[in-house]
Structure 1
Amino acid sequence: MPNMPQLARRHGALVALTVSALALAACASTPKELPPPPVAVASSTVETPPQTPPGPAEGSAAHYLATMMGRDTVYFAYDKYNIDPVAAASLQAQAQWLMRYAGKRATIEGHADERGTRDYNIALGERRATAAKNYLVSLGVDAARLTVVSYGKDRPVALGSDEASWAKNRRAVTVVID
Structure 2
Amino acid sequence: MNTAVRILSLVVLSLLLAACAQPTRETPPEAEPTDPGPTTTEPVEVDRVDPADFADSRNLDNPDSLLSQREIYFEFDRSNVQPQYLPIIRAHAEYLKANPSGRVLLEGHADERGSREYNLGLGERRGNSVLDLMRAEGVSGNQVEVVSYGEERPVCRQTSEACWERNRRVEIVYTAR
What is the TM-score normalised by the length of structure 2? 0.69
Equivalent position amino acid for 1:128 in 2: R
State the match for 1:136 in structure 2: 134
1:13 shift after superposition: 3.8
Q: Quick check: 1:64–1:97 contact (8 Å CA) kept in 2?
A: no
Q: Which runs of structure 2 are paired with 1:48-127 in the superposition (5 Å)?
A: 59=57, 64=60, 68-69=67-68, 71-127=69-125
Q: Distance in 1 between matches of 2:83 and 2:144?
A: 22
Greater radius of gyration (CA)? 1
> How many residue pairs align between the two structures?
143
Q: CA RMSD in A?
A: 2.7
State the match for 1:175 in structure 2: 173
Q: Distance in 1 between matches of 2:110 and 2:89?
A: 19
1:147 shift after superposition: 0.8
The alignment-based identity, stated in percent, is 32
Change (3 A) 1:3 1:135: closer
1:100 shift after superposition: 3.2
Structure 2 unmatched runs, 5+: 24-46, 48-55
Q: Quick check: 2:96–2:143 contact (8 Å CA) kept in 1?
A: no
Q: Distance in 2 between matches of 1:164 and 1:158?
A: 9
Structure with the bigger percentage of helix:
1
Q: Distance in 2 between matches of 1:16 and 1:152?
A: 90
Q: Quick check: 2:106–2:170 contact (8 Å CA) kept in 1?
A: yes
Q: Distance in 2 between matches of 1:177 and 1:160?
A: 30
Q: Distance in 2 between matches of 1:10 and 1:79?
A: 106
Structure 1 unmatched runs, 5+: 28-50, 52-57
